[in-house]
Amino acid sequence: MQPIYIYLENGTFLEAKSFGSCGTSVGEIVFNTSMTGYQEIVTDPSYAGQFVTFTMPEIGNVGCNAEDMESKAAWCKGIIVRQYQDVPSNFRSEEPLHELLKRFGVLGICDIDTRFLTKMVREEGAMMMIASTEVSEKEKLAEMLKNAPHISEVNYIKEVSTKEPYIHKSGHYDAMRYCYNDASEPKAKIVALDFGIKRNILNELTQAGMEVEVVPNSVDADELISRFKSGDIDGVFLSNGPGDPLILKDEQEKIKKLIEAKVPMFGICLGHQLLSIAHGYETYKLKFGHHGGNHPVKNRATGAVEITAQNHNYNVPDEITEIADVTHTNLFDGTIEGVKYKDSPIMSVQHHPESSPGPHESRYIFNEFLKMIQR
């Protein structure tokens, strides 16, 4: 391991050890409270442009494998851990975490007080930072960070979205057979707009009984409307993804057209936020966001409390209740977690019902989407 130097926009300067890729990266620091599933987090496209601080103190102990990839790459700028375990101990492991990080150019930072960083982010909010194995001078790092673009100015969707359409084939992972279930006979067909979609979202959609065609974010809205009106597809799914939804003007206009055409839609995370903006209700940024697998969410219809997986820095405003019914509420801070629009066949949630990692208490939401498009 070699030294790595960190400078945060609040002036904090730290030295740690590097175990991933070498180089210099700029991004936004957030923290994640999940106790398992570091590979799923690292390969979640929603973390593009961010450094993820793990509150779980030891990371790397189960290694990595191809089956647990949430996408085709690792997208975050880097990960920050208290202690990195270089020798994995798990029968499913195919490579250590540092090899995955090196392959995709992701910095790994260890031997650092992650409790200190987490408390700082909680108190001061998510902020930009720079980390480097090449530059050690505080003043030079500060200047480089100052001149780098802010995460709110960068459109990462173009990087993480698929370039070609494809049909997703697999369903749930079968822990008894150590493989993914094949797709069952579909009851409906949907198009999934890929803003940085997670593999396990696609698995849940397929498992619920939908044929899923994944298309690039650049797909033309008129094409989707035409396919819906002809009966070729029954609805559209709007995926999760990275960055500030307010800068995604093309996606907003596309969704506006789908809304006007009364195309049934379901959005998760970024898709949820873009639906709000397209309806005229701009999102706002949370102080340090929700990132982890332990967030209690109340189902307003049943009264049940679901422990959910979350990963977002932005939220829809309370004013959206003018046009939508709130279906789910976050019990940590009272923010809106899910809505159904009053005059449209549209539903969305802020949390991640596919989990991965996290509990599966909210996966019924995929079945609700199927019921909606079958009406």
Query: What interhelical angle do 221-229 and 249-260 show, nearest 10?
Result: 20
Q: For residue range 29-73, what is the model confidence (pLDDT) as tens digits?
A: 999 999 999 999 999 999 999 999 999 999 999 999 999 999 999
Range scoring the smallest mean pLDDT among 17-31, 173-187, 271-285: 173-187
Q: Cα–Cα distance between 238 and 190 in angstroms, integer?
A: 11
pTM of the model: 0.95
Q: Is the pLDDT of residue 375 over 80?
A: no
Find out whether 348 and 339 touch, Cβ atoms under 8 Å: yes
Q: Is 3 helix (H, G, I), strand (E, B) or coil?
A: strand
Give the number of other Cβ atoms within 10 Å of residue 280's Cβ: 11
Q: Which residues are catalytic?
A: 269, 352, 354
Structure tokens at 285: 């940024």
Interval 95-110 mean pLDDT: 97
Mean pLDDT value of segment 112-137: 97
Question: Residue 144's CB: how many other CB atoms inside 10 A?
Answer: 16
Q: Give the model's pLDDT for residue 184.
A: 80
What is the pLDDT at residue 112?
97
How confident is the model over 246-273, as pLDDT tens digits? 999 999 999 999 999 999 999 999 999 9
Condensed to tens digits (0 to 9), the pLDDT of residues 157-208 reads 999 999 999 999 999 988 888 888 888 889 999 999 999 999 999 999 999 9
